[in-house]
Amino acid sequence: MIKNILLTAWCALAPVIAAESITGAGASFPAPVYQKWTYTYSRENPGTTVTYQSLGSGAGLNQIKAGTVDFAGTDNPLTAEQQKEAGLVQVPMLTGGVVVVVNLPGIKDGQLKLSKAVLADIFLGKIKMWNDKAVKALNPGLKLPARKITMVHRADSSGTSFIFTNYLSKISADWREKVGQGSSVKWPVGIGGQKNPGVCNNVAKISGSIGYTEYTYATEAKLACATLENAEGKFVRPTKESFAAGASAADWKNAPGFYMELTNVPGEKSWPITGVTYILIRQDTPEAKREALRKYFTWCYTKGAAAADALNYVALPKDVVDLVLPTL
């Protein structure tokens, strides 16, 4: 309730001069792009102000249910039934990559290779030291220190955590049984950081740490990403191309409510942990507001694509956009 009061107060204080104001809140995963979009769109369309607050997927969902914002961002998709139940419309916005970041002295971006089994065992706490023979066997050329592994996960409820635990559940039966998938789970080991930036900060400060984060945050924090084994057993580096290869596996035509999981998808070049980030709007949005939202999102899908590309996200292909827009 407090946050609602705060948000309402904030909305009241926000520029009231603008004829149209669109407010959004939610996932921090796509926030770098959304912030760029809201800024550019508001400048190109005087009279319309769009704002997006990066609060986390769970918070976004709460806000849109409470009706305090016009749209919410989430990376933890609702199924078609859940959407119906909550009176929400869900559409995909972008695809991005979740990467595994490490902080090890002397180890640079992309140098460390982790197989599916080793990745799961590290996050399960079965592999405790960096010089464990399983890690060494994958990385014969690297000097791995005799340092404890400190795992860093999200402390808040998070769509990025959902994507990551969804992946771990697919590659490890042990993980599926002991931990499972979700926005916040009972992590077997590790410490928590607040949102994507908090995880990056903690990884940057703790020597011997490993964590997961959205790719843009990792590049901004200049952290070393690990090379991961994908569904086909090939080792791939996190790049825009491998994210796009992963995104191309999506079959949007046969996804009721656009519910989609893009982890562990086939394809030799596919990055194994890609995720879709979604927009949620209320079904009972008044037509005038809905029109403004439609106009804004159409702009995002078309003109905004370049900005998304520059920040290493993958925009939706045109045929998918044509599929999505009529539902808004």
Partner 1 sequence: MQRTDKIFRLVCLLCALPAALLLPGMLLQLLSNSAEAWHTFGLSFLWSSEWDPAAGKYGAWPGIAGTLLTTATALVPAVPLAFSAALLLTEVPSWLAKPLSHAVDLLAAIPSVIYGMWGLFVLAPLMQEHVQPLLARLPGSTLLLGEDNSGFGFLTAGLILALMILPYMCAIMRDVISMTPPMLREAAYGVGCTCLETTRDIVLRHGLRGIIGGIFIGLGRALGETMAVLFVVGNIMEPPAGLCSCGTTIAATLANNFAEADGLQRSALFALGLVLVVMSVGIQAGAQYYLRLTGAKRGETI
Q: Enumerate binding residues for partner 1 (CB under 8 A).
A: 3, 55-59, 62, 148, 150, 155-157, 180, 182-187, 190-194, 201-202, 205-209
Count of C-beta atoms within a 10 Å radius of residue 17: 8
Compute CA distances 234 → 27, 75, 83, whole Å.
30, 26, 36
Residue 258 CB, nearest approach to partner 1 (Å) = 22
**Residue 179, H or E segment:** none
The secondary structure of residue 231, as a DSSP letter, is T
For 218, the 3-state DSSP assignment is helix
Residue 306 CB, nearest approach to partner 1 (Å) = 32
- What are the phi and psi torsion angles at 246 (to 5°)? -65, -40
> Residues 104, 298: contact at Cβ < 8 Å?
no
Cα angle for residues 310, 228, 245 (degrees, 5° grid) = 45
**Residue number, 60 or 304, with CB nearest to partner 1:** 60
**Residue number, 32 or 193, with CB nearest to partner 1:** 193
**Residue number, 194 or 239, with CB nearest to partner 1:** 194
> Residues 210, 243: contact at Cβ < 8 Å?
no
Nearest to 89 by CA among 247, 313, 304, 294: 294
Residue 169 CB, nearest approach to partner 1 (Å) = 11
- For residue 102, list its beta bridge partners: 210, 224
**Residue number, 8 or 207, with CB nearest to partner 1:** 207
Residue 184 CB, nearest approach to partner 1 (Å) = 5
**Residue number, 30 or 238, with CB nearest to partner 1:** 30
Nearest to 73 by CA among 83, 63, 81, 82: 63
**Residue number, 111 or 184, with CB nearest to partner 1:** 184
Nearest to 240 by CA among 166, 308, 169, 181: 308
**Residue number, 190 or 304, with CB nearest to partner 1:** 190
**Residue number, 185 or 308, with CB nearest to partner 1:** 185
Residue 86 CB, nearest approach to partner 1 (Å) = 12
Residue 180 CB, nearest approach to partner 1 (Å) = 6
Residue 241 CB, nearest approach to partner 1 (Å) = 33
Residue 307 CB, nearest approach to partner 1 (Å) = 27
Count of C-beta atoms within a 10 Å radius of residue 117: 16
> Residues 196, 152: contact at Cβ < 8 Å?
no
Helices 57-66/2-13 angle, 10° precision: 80
Widest pairwise Cα distance in the chain: 63
